[in-house]
Amino acid sequence: MGVTFEDEVVVVTGAGGGIGRATALAFAERGARIVAADVDTAAVDRTAALAGALGPRAHAFTVDVGCEETMAEFAGEVEELFGVPGVVVNNAGIGMAGSLLDTGPAAWDRIVEVNLGGVARGCRLFGRQMVERGAGGHIVNIASAAAFTPNRAMAAYATTKAAVLMLSQCLRAELAGHRIGVSAVCPGFVDTGISRSTEYVGLDAAGQDRARQAAARLYRLRGYPPEKVAERILHAVEHNSAVLPVTGEAKVNHALSRLSPGALRLMARIDPTARWSERGRADR
């Protein structure tokens, strides 16, 4: 079964479904006390109930990782109620696709605040607690294969994930002397709810629906479940992995990013949304 996390406090953000829920349940099966956080109250309550049936205890919190004040309150409450977590998984994030030229300031600010700011807040607030406790720990940041795979239709999303990857590597160096590991886990195409909630900038409501349905079909056909990503997250913590690509396409693209970045740049010119984007383009 591998390393256990008996009575270890494990915080997972974005735990209302997908990779976050699967990760919370995987740690619960290993004996961890789960602190599940998500902006969706009903979804995170369900995760806590499932995790509580598998492990010693689980607690749900409604948290918007994009809000500094809310995250600070959350981190303080976790420390007060349960103690300093031994593992923190910064998983919460949102999807966004479409041309950078169509990505307005509000959309850009939103994805940066959640995907990058949320991870940075989790690292800073809980990382400080771990340092002060002086007993080590581990932080896992969920990036993406998009962090090293340029794509003409994912500029905003890929930029935030590339930033999460670099943040993780910088923080890993900073916290190494405190015996706190930092891992960046980079999934590829995983069948989760993000494919059905991604915002497609520049498209009207009908175009958004078509794009989401098409993406969800592709993710289902790929058939890579979030439970397999959760297994790799556990592996990253157990082995203190620095960067861990998950899924075959993530591993191939990670290798190409080092061995043949020019090939990835050429592939980035392919527009995966070409079939439906013009039909669903919003009036400007």
Report CA 93 to chain centroid distance, whole Å.
5
**Active-site residue identified among 157, 200, 219, 224:** 157
Task: Give 1: exposed, middle or buried? Use CB within 10 Å, 0-12, 13-18, 19+.
Answer: exposed
**Which pair of structure tokens corresponds to residue 136?**
């080590």
Q: Where are the beta strands (DSSP E) in the chain?
A: 9-13, 33-38, 58-62, 87-90, 96-97, 137-142, 180-187, 199-200, 243-246
How far apart are alpha carbons 73 and 66 in whole angstroms? 13
**Which pair of structure tokens corresponds to residue 225?**
């479940």
Nearest to 199 by CA among 106, 120, 275: 106
Q: CB-based contacts of 23: which residues, under 8 Å, 6+ apart?
A: 12, 15, 89, 91, 226, 229, 230, 233
Residue 157 annotated among the catalytic residues of the structure: yes
Q: Tell me the C-alpha to C-alpha distance, in Å, between residue 76 and each of 11, 68, 138, 210.
A: 13, 12, 18, 42
Catalytic residues: 157
